Amino acid sequence: MDKRVLGDGGPELSVVGVGCNNFGSRLDADAAAAVVHAALDAGITHFDTAEIYGGGRSEEYLGAALASRRDDVVIATKFPPREGQYRPGALADHIRRSAEGSLRRLGTDRIDLYYQHFPDPDAPIEEVLETLDELVRAGKVLHVASSNFSARQIQRAQDVATGKGWTRFTGTQIHWSLLSRDVEESVVPAATAAGVGVVPYFPLASGMLTGKYRRGEELPAGSRLAGNADRAARLATGENFTKVEAFEAFAAERGHTVVELAIGWLLAQPSVASVIAGATSPEQITANAGRVWTMTSEEAGAISSLAG
């Protein structure tokens, strides 16, 4: 599988990564290990988890499944939002404790890519960046990044880090798919201008871009949308079904699936380094990463037009 460098000087990531948010919640340790091993067999080297996934079990299961293959991969994890009212130093202590906890659960001596999971509306970004720089200098973290930041927050973080001589964010993780494109207006351009690589999550729009949902049919039992009425109301609309049907026809004419189209289109965007897709089985790993569609600019443009 191809690899790309994340932003300016970030880690080299396989173009498809595994989102480990199901580990410890929908998947037990054995099922998680099966997914990890299938991903390794497919050439995936980018594994994305977080302290809050599965109450910490996601990190534990990932670390155990990688075992002797740990040095072959890039592990990305995230520290969660701080709890309680902000006071100077509180966030710094929180980040240090989170990093130590993640290192212990993952069974490793360093975090390859450490994300601020959500921006903190109260605490100054200076405290975040100074603490992350401290962790980098200590060798406990190799690269740092943001997640769910606005365009303004991305630029502010880069300006502060540059001015202080601290470690800069190399990437940002954002919700982006063919059915959710609002980030293209400001967030993606801001990231590109700041030298920050983009890692989209939810690329398959909770399964809408897999073909598993059909217009006029009941949502499959156990599916993401079947278990979330609000999300289903937002995504399983007539307009979206029309788009998905057009995507399926476009992909089929070229010998591809709609999953390959959804991931390939994101990878055709210049700012994107890797696309994170969750999986609950080895078969889903094969569907997500078995055949990556390297699109021409004409194909990507045509798909953008279909998406509207």
Active site residues: 53
Q: Position of tokens 């000087």?
A: 9
Judged on CB neighbours under 10 Å (0-12, 13-18, 19+), 286 is middle
**Per-residue DSSP letter, 12:** E
**Per-residue DSSP letter, 50:** -
User: Whole-angstrom Cα distance, residue 157 to residue 64?
Assistant: 34
- The angle that helices 258-267 and 238-253 make with each other, rounded to 10 degrees, is 90
**Per-residue DSSP letter, 27:** B
Nearest to 211 by CA among 172, 254, 164, 257: 257
User: Whole-angstrom Cα distance, residue 190 to residue 146?
Assistant: 13
Task: Return all residues near 92 (Cβ < 8 A) that are at least 6 apart.
Answer: 127, 130, 131
Pairing outcome for strands 16-19 and 46-48: parallel
Task: Return all residues near 2 (Cβ < 8 A) that are at least 6 apart.
Answer: 14, 15, 292
